[in-house]
A and B are shown apart, each in its own frame.
Chain A
């Protein structure tokens, strides 16, 4: 699903966010990406969603070499990836329903289809009754779940999450992770950047460890303990 071949990323100004990173995430796999802040977790996710381009190496997502993907094709690439942000990135002047419907509207689904799919997505994250509310009236955990519903509403084969539980208490974090595991169970590949070691240890999934831009660990045993 995701393959990194000797990928490096140097930002203008010389800061080297990633050095020679190689790994492969199989379709249907769920993995964590961990490391200290500034280790390059966000940069790695940004390369997958083509928010940034690598300075060297090759990123292949869904059998598509991203180096060969032109600017005009980026939107269509992103439609195959559900991205969940730490700061939710919701539109606060629109209802929960409209926020979740946005990817479907962009992709040009019919009105009935949008209603059906949005309700299904909200049902999965347990927010079915709140579709007419505005995000500002929701708690942090509920806002994050709206973000998840928006990421999965058009059923992408790959989910990326950047610190999805960063601001949540352990109880809510467990709930959110439970939702990700559910999606993984139906075949969605999931890559979660997180430094919540307790949670990662409990879930017993594959862990990729970044340290100062280099991949220093990859496996089921925590390498940075």
Chain B
């Protein structure tokens, strides 16, 4: 009799969990699941805040590693802004054949003004050019000794703003060079092109740097997580002994990596913004000297998003690598 009751009670105990689950339903199960994730999420940040110094060290290393490419990216963007401002200053000098008469030159100027891709045309006669050269070069006396003016008349063409791309400018120069009385058409923006070339190198450099430093972040996070796995060896063994799945054991470490990455990204953001703030004063001064209204720009939202998102993904991935490698080797004996 007593035995019967005992068995009955045990059966009830044994089926307790199933009934419990059924009663709860799928929604409650999902709620529980999310709650457990949320708990681990905050548990991980709690663990990190319990040893603030070592956490700060790790996060700072990650932050600096992320700040370097992010800062370079922001600087490049600013250079681009500056350059796009200077594109507008591009002008094409048409050196006419020497001895081209003024009416011919002016007629050509009129013709060019009619073209849609041309904003304005200035005519500089040979005499004006000579005069300008005399004043600016300081060779006044020596130039007086010349029997005839060696300078050609020049038409300075200002392309329309719609024609500002390097390709369409080159095409325009090509066309202008075909005009009958033009001896040489020269685009005064070779240096802009070269700067663009330099910037392309810079952009590539940012990618190379970013890849290498991303690898560094992975290693930093991986190594930190490896150490914390070793520190919590006993806990892992016990958890495995009482039926903790790998997923369960992995979760807090993954969230720790997540936090490292996110906090590292945030520190990088602060570092870059602080650097920009420090540079803003001198840059604005310099811009003032060039009569430019250029202002040093900070990070845009996309860059901030990429920085934080990239940081947390790197943290997550780094800890995933470490956990995958080391968790399996810790088994109860």
Give the interface centre of A75, A103, A111 by most chain B CB atoms within 10 Å.
A75
Does A215 reach chain B (CB closer than 8 Å)?
A: no
Q: Report whether over half of chain B's contact residues are helix, strand or loop; otherwise say mixed.
A: helix
User: A83 contacts which chain B residues (CB < 8 A)?
Assistant: 241-242
Chain B's nearest CB lies how many Å from the CB of A120?
Answer: 11
Does B77 reach chain A (CB closer than 8 Å)?
A: no
CA distance A154 to B18 in the complex (A): 12
A91 touches B234 (CB 8 A): yes
A78 touches B239 (CB 8 A): no
Known contacts: A75-B245, A111-B35, A113-B20. The answer to whether A106 contacts B14 by CB under 8 A is: no
Could you write out 25 A-B pairs with CB less than 8 Å apart?
A28-B3, A28-B7, A49-B241, A75-B240, A75-B244, A75-B248, A77-B243, A89-B238, A91-B235, A91-B238, A103-B242, A106-B243, A106-B244, A107-B17, A108-B32, A108-B36, A110-B24, A110-B32, A150-B242, A154-B17, A155-B14, A157-B14, A186-B10, A186-B13, A187-B6
CA distance A106 to B241 in the complex (A): 11
Does B333 reach chain A (CB closer than 8 Å)?
A: yes
User: A157 contacts which chain B residues (CB < 8 A)?
Assistant: 10, 14
Known contacts: A91-B235, A110-B24, A110-B32. The answer to whether A79 contacts B242 by CB under 8 A is: yes
A110 touches B28 (CB 8 A): yes
A187 touches B241 (CB 8 A): no
Q: Which residues of A contact B (CB under 8 A)?
A: 28, 49, 51, 72, 75-79, 83, 89-91, 102-103, 105-111, 113, 150-151, 154-155, 157, 185-188
CA distance A166 to B16 in the complex (A): 33
User: B239 contacts which chain A residues (CB < 8 A)?
Assistant: 102, 106
B240 touches A187 (CB 8 A): no
Chain B's nearest CB lies how many Å from the CB of A69?
Answer: 13
Give the interface centre of B9, B33, B245 by most chain A CB atoms within 10 Å.
B245
CA distance A134 to B247 in the complex (A): 27
B241 touches A51 (CB 8 A): yes
Q: Which residue of chain A has its CB nearest to the CB of B16?
A: A155
Does B205 reach chain A (CB closer than 8 Å)?
A: no
Chain B's nearest CB lies how many Å from the CB of A111?
Answer: 7
User: B246 contacts which chain A residues (CB < 8 A)?
Assistant: 72, 75
Given A186-B13, A187-B9, A187-B11, 13 further pairs, Cβ under 8 A: A28-B3, A51-B332, A75-B240, A79-B243, A89-B237, A89-B241, A91-B235, A106-B239, A109-B32, A110-B28, A110-B32, A150-B242, A151-B242
